[in-house]
Structure 1
């Protein structure tokens, strides 16, 4: 399971680098550390920044890299374009990134680098937010019975093999307020159909098949309640892609990327 950690060497990305080394060591897999120097800088200045970046990465790797096979790469180019190219390498199984830099009102006007990378990545992306205190222990996975959700669960089980994993699905009947509410015959029919979909979806996993409890209510509120009650240290989601959204992601996934409650594993594409 080759890993890549993309870092801008900020405090925000230090945790991502630490988590990447931890995963690489535990999974016995190679790790690439990548930082990109913006090509818009003057040549001499870019070379100076690149040399300092390599020195910093070598120091970090020297501290964290015991027992890990790693490669350090400092590239010059358009940061976003180069990152998107790198994360879509067929040789990668997981990309690790830190939280995006808060930009106030600008965050509401244009996509962040992390959002842009996630929305274009065919490789699962692990966004690290919390301090690295231990292996992942509690994984929460809201699912929509899609291939991307299945890949998110499978990837989470790989990087958090010893964790307790809670998978659930949030449902509601369309136009529920006009059709008699949750107790109506229509809503019960929708719930029964949803249970059938859940039973079909879990067949994609190796036995024993996971249980998928159904939770009724609005998606956002239900997920927040699950986060409060379950207390996950990793949230795993399969994202939908919305070409007309400025983030390129569905609204739920975009909200999670923009303001993650904890470490976030996000998968945008099914298995190749």
Structure 2
């Protein structure tokens, strides 16, 4: 396995390097550290920054405890950050890209998307966004699961990558009883509405159980949490209550303007939740 860890030498990125080192040590993976130098500036300055970046990367491999003694190499590329990371991941045959949490730049984020979102949209690589301090392997994991192939692929990928290890996995599934609002406006009693919601929860539970069995994901060691509400609301509340070390989520493939501009549950999760997040793109 090969892990690519991207850094801009910020504190956020240092957490990503530490997590990547810990993962590489536990799995025996090869590790590449990459820094992207902006090439939209005079060539002399690009060359200077590239040399300095190479020096700093070399220092970090010896200074960060999680990187010491690992099979790792430093890579400096030129270009736009997201494009440089995607090219580096492709050239190294990366199985996983690890990045630090992004800076919040509201207008740019709305119109273009953060670097990490653009890497996820553009590349075929699973991306781990590290938000929290690194002090141990992952012990608890949560997967946001819908009845879809991306959810199945996300869980399978996390297992192949060895991210779960001995971690306890909780599956969180959102359901929305569509008739609830109509029943409320029709003046039906609260007991009747509650009964309908309970029936819908039972139906959702049965559907999820059957879905997991068909896809070979019915592991008795995992827990299931079926909650009423919109997907992001349910995921956010579950992260707050369960406090997992890592959240696993599958992304849906989009193209054209929809891919560039429209929001999604994954993007809302990436921008809002303070937890390490593994975003897995669909199979291609």
Q: TM-score range by the shorter chain?
A: 0.7 to 0.9
- In angstroms, what is the RMSD of aligned CA positions? 2.6
Q: How many residues align?
A: 270
Partners of 1:142 and 1:37 lie apart in 2 by: 35
In the superposition, relative to structure 1, how do residues 150 and 33 fare at CA in structure 2: closer, same or farther (>3 Å)? same
1:166 and 2:170 aligned:
yes
Deviation digits for residues 137-196 of structure 1, max 9, x if unmatched?
Answer: 1111110122221232233342131211101211113343125745339x8368526623
Instruction: For 1:1-272, list aligned pairs within 5 A.
Output: 1-64=1-64, 65-88=67-90, 91-157=93-159, 158-179=162-183, 181=193, 183-184=195-196, 188=199, 191-192=202-203, 195-205=206-216, 208=219, 210=222, 212-243=224-255, 244-245=257-258, 250-270=263-283
In the superposition, relative to structure 1, how do residues 206 and 233 fare at CA in structure 2: closer, same or farther (>3 Å)? closer
Instruction: Quote how far apart the aligned CAs of 1:264 are.
Output: 0.7
Deviation digits for residues 75-112 of structure 1, max 9, x if unmatched?
Answer: 12333323233345682211101111222443333311
Partners of 1:202 and 1:48 lie apart in 2 by: 56
Partners of 1:30 and 1:246 lie apart in 2 by: 32
Contact 1:233 1:263 in 2 (8 A): yes
Q: Which residue of 1 aligns with 2:188?
A: none
In the superposition, relative to structure 1, how do residues 249 and 23 fare at CA in structure 2: closer, same or farther (>3 Å)? farther
Gaps of 5+ in 1: none
TM-score of the superposed pair, with normalisation by structure 1: 0.87
Partners of 1:127 and 1:49 lie apart in 2 by: 25
Larger helix fraction of residues: 2
Task: Provide the secondary structure at the position in 2 that maps to 1:184.
Answer: helix
